[in-house]
Structure 1
């Protein structure tokens, strides 16, 4: 295992935390929100620099259903991040005020809409790479031999996270926010910031688990039909 891979994954998880932090706009002042967004953009650039070889080899790979899903996730993520970057510059008040446009209510709506979709796509993209995360975890903790009890415990934990994510998605109106039908009355200002992060962290875990196990089933189906 490459020594730099755990560091790369740490930066990727930090990017997910920053996305959730940016969604906590109503607990932050505007400057903090924009600084978190700027840090997120920097991590996205670093992520793409680390993965530049992947882009160069896309055309040379034999495409199957699993790789097509992964490619679609990356393409959608690229679109979502681009929309977030452009709209953030148009509505910036503190970090980049010289790029702001006047009367940008509609742009703010698009920016928030893109933010929730980026969280969804990042969660699913994380699921496509979860096997890599597990491999790094085995290397870091020096786990070599399989253990049926450890596997069962981890799968139960994944199920619990997915169940919490489903509840959190209902409680936060996550589906409505993806449809751009949310409003301020969906924000519980009595909710602690820790609860906010736990809710959205569980939502990330739910979609990541769904994508990971969905791809496992797809790969198993491909092997059975080949």
Structure 2
């Protein structure tokens, strides 16, 4: 159940980013679906909330918790602003005030949420890789295959950076512009290709950040134990 919800949420992310290309009605219903899945995700992962103030906070845990809390706040702001602007799902509410602010909040929050959710996926990259190996009965990657995977990740990241700059995501995230540009003549496949590359870029960044922090923590722990022995 958890895996299905996570997959559906991941699929919905780029779909939601294409709101003007797919139609505002589809965007609103997809947004409601995303929020319901998000609530379900948190209900099924209640242990995470329960253990929030328990145990040791390593570098990876601090980063992961910060990202998770930011996503939580962004999701709430997206749903609240989305309800205010709604024309298809919640038209009966007839909220007239605050539409301009809601639009700005929705714009900024959506792009930050896309980036941080991708980082969140990357932080769980090791676990995801383990599940894929188990599901497809894959053997542990050889050193040759690992090098190939690193090269593929580097190439994908380069294209992800290009797409991030080309699509102007930084401008939307930093509110340097309040209007999102969509090329309606562009094939939809190209749009999704770019946004999937951007997602991959931040997944990769999250994955390697987790690896580096884990290694750094292991080194610190080793040094601490050596000092204690002395």
Matched, 1:187 2:182: yes
SS where residue 177 of structure 2 aligns?
Answer: coil
- Match of residue 207, structure 1, among 168, 191, 202: 202
TM-score w.r.t. the length of structure 2 is 0.89
- Match of residue 164, structure 2, among 149, 154, 169: 169
Q: CA deviation at 1:12?
A: 1.6
Higher-Rg member (1/2):
2
SS where residue 142 of structure 1 aligns?
Answer: coil
TM-score w.r.t. the length of structure 1 is 0.90
CA, structure 1 residues 138+176, in 2 after alignment: closer, same or farther (shift >3 Å)? same
Count of residue pairs brought into register by the alignment: 220
CA-atom RMSD in angstroms: 1.7
Per-residue deviation, residues 169-199 of structure 1 (Å, max 9, x unmatched): 0110011110112354733222211111111
Matched residue, 1:147: 142
Per-residue deviation, residues 78-117 of structure 1 (Å, max 9, x unmatched): 1000000111111111111123421512311211211111
Q: How does 1:45-194 map to 2 (within 5 A)?
A: 45-102=39-96, 104-184=99-179, 186-194=181-189
Provide the C-alpha distance between the structure 2 equivalents of 1:182 and 1:152, rounded to a whole number of angstroms: 40
Q: CA deviation at 1:223?
A: 1.8
For structure 1, the 5+ residue unaligned runs are: 1-6
Q: CA deviation at 1:210?
A: 0.9
Where do 4+ consecutive residues of structure 1 move more than 3 Å?
A: 183-186
Matched, 1:216 2:208: no
Q: Which stretch of structure 1 is more off in the superposition, 53-62 or 134-143?
A: 53-62
- Match of residue 23, structure 2, among 21, 29, 41: 29
CA, structure 1 residues 65+27, in 2 after alignment: closer, same or farther (shift >3 Å)? same
Provide the C-alpha distance between the structure 2 equivalents of 1:185 and 1:38, rounded to a whole number of angstroms: 21
Whether the aligned pair in 1 keeps the contact of 2:14 and 2:195 (CA below 8 Å) is: yes
Q: Which stretch of structure 1 is more off in the superposition, 40-49 or 172-181?
A: 40-49
Whether the aligned pair in 2 keeps the contact of 1:173 and 1:182 (CA below 8 Å) is: no
